[in-house]
Structure 1
């Protein structure tokens, strides 16, 4: 099997700005996907007033996925036009919430809209905003919520929204797939943003903490710092997934998305990943980042062939394989063998066409995952 190399890898863009990550073709190849069992899908439709919803957010019975950067991406005009639509009594599109066994609900679809409404009505500091660039309600231009006429404040509070609630008996995998299917409005969320919205604070806090470590920021040259598409959390999660689980576990799942969702649920559950295990996981992650910096310097987790000039974006497949391969090696060992490891890695990327394919196309194919992991581990042992 060969892979035709086609020059400098393309970097992902978001709203015209580079994200620091190489575009990934994660198609899985010949993988059979488990069909849904319609009998296990439970979705009920309810009606809430916006006042009800805001109270639920205050009471923490409805979670807006804190630390989610994308809910701050909307421009002032977009936010104001949404509020104006509500004040004009234009019906909002339906929302989706997911309910868990503890009756806690999370926003599955409509996060940006609800975040905007919350910021306008209850926001403080930088979250608070005044209406601007309105199309019809010119008299309300420049006003904060508290400055609106009482009748308009009541109109907003009393606005009814339709919410489809996904019951806790629906499996996380099915909920994730429902999320992907309905995720079409505005700027659609990517896979990691969906997992973030579905997860609990335990995994969210852990991934954020690892992504903010000095070791990670240094190894990635700061290119993923506070990544607006949560690319930093995604690559950390990929490391965690292959440390907590295994390639054999991966081969039993439908896709990289299913595998990462399984790892997220494991981190969220103290019975599956204790505090001690998470502390050990963070320690090994930090060690892997230090070792990657020692070996590859500014080219860590990036394609780096022998004839290459310049520096490429971070490649997810290289991140997961090299971070795992370096996690159990001591810094003194890696330092003494850095040149040999670096040469072995560059030889792989330059001369092993199937390895290059495994980090470039159909990267979710279990055969390619297994091959690149095996070859990367072998390269990390080079002397």
Structure 2
């Protein structure tokens, strides 16, 4: 409902990672949307401990039995001195913390915890162009600036023979429990966020689909060119949110209002060509590109951002607005010509709502995973997208 007089827009807080603004507004989903909702039988949770040499692990990575999710952008944030000190730990025979793998039904593995460490070691020992050179070291300064191939043979052997403790999650462990384990035990320099966890748990099919969706000119324009290959994978999350509502519908969310589970279910659907065949994937990608094109056409640089009347400051992208407005503007009945003619009416209606509708401001700002607030913002976006008809 609307309230009398102008309603001050809630303070917008932009998410920051590693000292840099991400271009995304901090979201308050409300409560714990990822907690286990029912107890699992402990007998279903099987985690076995094994020991592997680093050489064996690297062999499995090279043959594809262990996947390092190559498009996982945040792997690149480790500084050169962090990488060098990790290698030095091996040379000093300092035991590394245990790794966690999730075993797939085909016997391959996904890395739950230790992704950055394994990627660093693989890059040093078997990376292209002989891997990286060692930088800052605290004890073995005579090895500074050397690559793996330059190290004395005993040092190379010591690295390859390093024994790693790996806790392997059996494939019979329920998917939700595996997700919970991801959340609880990842120990990298910065804990993985929900989308990064989903990325690590998913298969190449869904990752490729989400990557294609976020690597179009339409997506780049609609999001101001800041999200593609986002360091926290917020671009993939945006595409996945659209996908989840496009595939499952808002009714499915109302039945089980748990956003993280909703998005995980959509990821699993994308990974299964029987549930989402290639023909439907093509329709999904076309709908998403249509939504991005329409969003930029109507809102320009303010697409998916709070934009109250009388204030033209360009705010960060709001996730709740992205999912609701992208779905509204994906409507195939909307044409470029029609939207261009109605642009003033649509923008006017949307900005009026962002200025005076307190319920809407709540729906896109706090407790955004609440079923009633999700429903409210979707209906509001659909209504405003039809302004001027």
Same fold (TM over 0.5): yes
Q: Does 1:119 align with 2:130?
A: no
Deviation of 1:242 after TM superposition, in Å, equals 0.6
d(CA) in 2 for partners of 1:81 and 1:296?
48
Check if 1:195 corresponds to 2:182.
no
2:344 is the alignment partner of 1:339 = yes
Counterpart of 1:82 in structure 2 is: 86
Deviations 1:100-142 (A, max 9, x none): 11112110110000000000000014x9211111000011111
The residue number in structure 2 matching 1:219 is: 222
Matched, 1:91 2:95: yes
1:288: how far off? 0.4
Paired residue secondary structure (1:368): helix
Selected match of 1:209 from 209, 212, 217: 212
Query: What is the rounded CA distance, in whole Å, between the counterparts of 2:100 and 2:327 in structure 1?
Result: 37
* Aligned position for 1:376: 381
Which stretch of structure 1 is more off in the superposition, 317-326 or 5-14?
5-14
Partner of 1:59: 63
Given the alignment of the two structures, is residue 105 of structure 1 paired with residue 115 of structure 2, yes or no? no
- Check 1:376–1:72 CA distance in 2 against 1; reply closer, same or farther (3 A cut): same
CA drift of 1:60 comes to 0.4
Q: Please state if 1:177 is matched with 2:195.
A: no
Paired with 1:181 and 1:33, the residues of 2 have a C-alpha distance of 12
Measured after TM superposition, the shift of residue 246 of structure 1 is 1.4
Q: Distance in 2 between matches of 1:6 and 1:213?
A: 32
Q: Kindly provide the CA deviation profile for residues 25-58 of structure 1, in whole angstroms up to 9, marking residues without a partner as x.
A: 1125899952230232111111111001000001
Counterpart residue number, 2:264: 261
Provide the residue aligned with 2:243 in structure 1.
Answer: 240
My pick for the range that moved more, 333-342 or 297-306, is: 333-342
Contact 2:84 2:136 in 1 (8 A): yes
Contact 1:62 1:107 in 2 (8 A): yes
* Alignment of structure 1 residues 10-159 onto 2, 5 Å: 10-28=13-31, 34-37=37-40, 38-125=42-129, 128-159=131-162
* Cα 1:166/1:150, change in 2 over 3 Å: same
Are 1:365 and 2:336 matched, yes or no? no
Q: How many residues align?
A: 382
Structure 1 residue 8, shift from structure 2 partner = 4.3
Q: Secondary structure at the match of 2:15?
A: strand
Counterpart of 2:282 (choices 275, 279, 293) is: 279
Q: 1:166 aligns with which of 148, 164, 169?
A: 169
Instruction: Name stretches of at least 5 consecutive residues in structure 1 with no aligned partner.
Output: none
What SS does the aligned partner of 1:130 have? Answer: coil
TM-score (norm 2): 0.94
Task: Identify if the C-alpha distance between structure 1 residues 28 and 339 changes in structure 2 by more than 3 Å, giving closer, same or farther.
Answer: farther
Residue by residue, what CA displacement relative to the aligned partner does 1:223-254 show, whole Å, maximum 9, x if unpaired?
A: 21321111111101111111001122113335
Verify the 8 A CA contact 1:80 1:131 in the aligned structure 2. yes
What stretches of structure 2 of length at least 5 have no aligned partner? Answer: none
Give deviations 1:43-85, integer Å, cap 9, x for gaps: 1111111001000001101101111111111000000000000
Whether the 8 Å contact between 2:291 and 2:330 is mirrored in structure 1 is yes
Query: 1:90 & 1:6 partners in 2: Cα distance?
Result: 53
Q: In the alignment, is the contact (CA less than 8 A) between 2:34 and 2:260 conserved in 1? A: no
Matches of 1:42 and 1:2, distance apart in 2: 53
- Does the 8 Å contact 1:31/1:254 carry over to 2? no
Distance 1:116 1:278, change over 3 A: same
Instruction: Find the residue that maps to 1:246 and give its secondary structure.
Output: helix
Per-residue Cα deviation, 1:299-318 (whole angstroms, up to 9, x for no partner)? 00000011323100000000
Equivalent residue of 1:181, what SS?
helix
Cα distance in structure 1, aligned partners of 2:316 and 2:159: 45
1:348-376: CA deviation from partner (whole Å, max 9, x where unpaired): 21111111001000111111111111111
- In structure 1, how many angstroms separate the alpha carbons of the residues matched to 2:328 and 2:200? 30
Contact 2:33–2:258 under 8 Å retained in 1:
no
| Residues 264-305 of structure 1, C-alpha deviations (whole Å, 9 max, x = no match) | 110110001000000000001110011001110000000001
